[in-house]
Structure 1
Amino acid sequence: MSKPMTKTQLVAAIAEAMGSDKKTAGAALDAIAEVVVREVTAGGAVTLPGLGKVACKARPERQVRNPATGETITKAADKQVKFAIAKSLKDSVNA
């Protein structure tokens, strides 16, 4: 398995694909990340075409077990960020 692409490498690849400079590509990537964070934090969801959907899901209070001690404790309700992969991406990877 290869190493994950760094942000610098991603910005360079986006700039090349857009036919633009790295500063513009970096600003576009940062703007997308900001919009996704703002929308998901507010309880919404964002679909990234060709990639998938980012959404926030509420999890209820539940019982969990400490594996070291075996003690059962109650974990408070919280939120979890979920990313559902788009079918087109799955199909591309498995082709």
Structure 2
Amino acid sequence: MALTKNDIIEKVNALGFSKKKSVEIIEILLEIMKNSLANGEDVLISGFGKFCIKDKDSRRGRNPATGEDLTLSERRVVTFKCSGKLRDCVNPE
């Protein structure tokens, strides 16, 4: 089961914020992250990880349904590298 945006809002709400304020906090946080990534900036959250933008060159591809060859255009993708603390939390010894 995935943690959803609504689940995060409920957890912020449980800290004593109103539901409306909780939604506003999460929406603003996500908007800041989206804008930073759209501008090509990395987003580093200490103790959690780093979201980075990587540029992908155009390349040859194939439509798996038809087998037709095609060219995939240049694009930007978001990558994530977790911090050591998060890795240790996920893989306790």
Post-superposition offset of 1:69: 4.0
Asked if 1:59 corresponds to 2:56, the answer is yes
1:79 aligned counterpart, secondary structure: strand
Matches within 5 A, 1:13-92: 13-17=11-15, 19-92=16-89
Asked if 1:94 corresponds to 2:82, the answer is no
Q: Given the two structures, how large is their TM-score scaled by the length of structure 1?
A: 0.81
CA-based RMSD = 1.7
Structure 1 unaligned spans of 5+: none
Structure 2 unaligned spans of 5+: none
Report the residue type matching 2:42 in the other structure.
A
Q: Which stretches of structure 1, 4 residues or more, deviate above 4 A after TM superposition?
A: none
User: What's the counterpart of residue 10 of structure 2?
Assistant: 12
Report the residue type matching 1:13 in the other structure.
K
C-alpha distance in structure 1 between counterparts of 2:68 and 2:3, whole Å: 41
Measured against aligned partners, the alpha-carbon deviations of 1:42-66 in whole angstroms (never above 9, x if no partner) come to: 1111112222111211100111123
Equivalenced residue count is 92
Identity in percent? 29
> How has the CA–CA distance of structure 1 residues 7 and 67 changed in structure 2, closer, same or farther, with 3 Å as cutoff?
closer
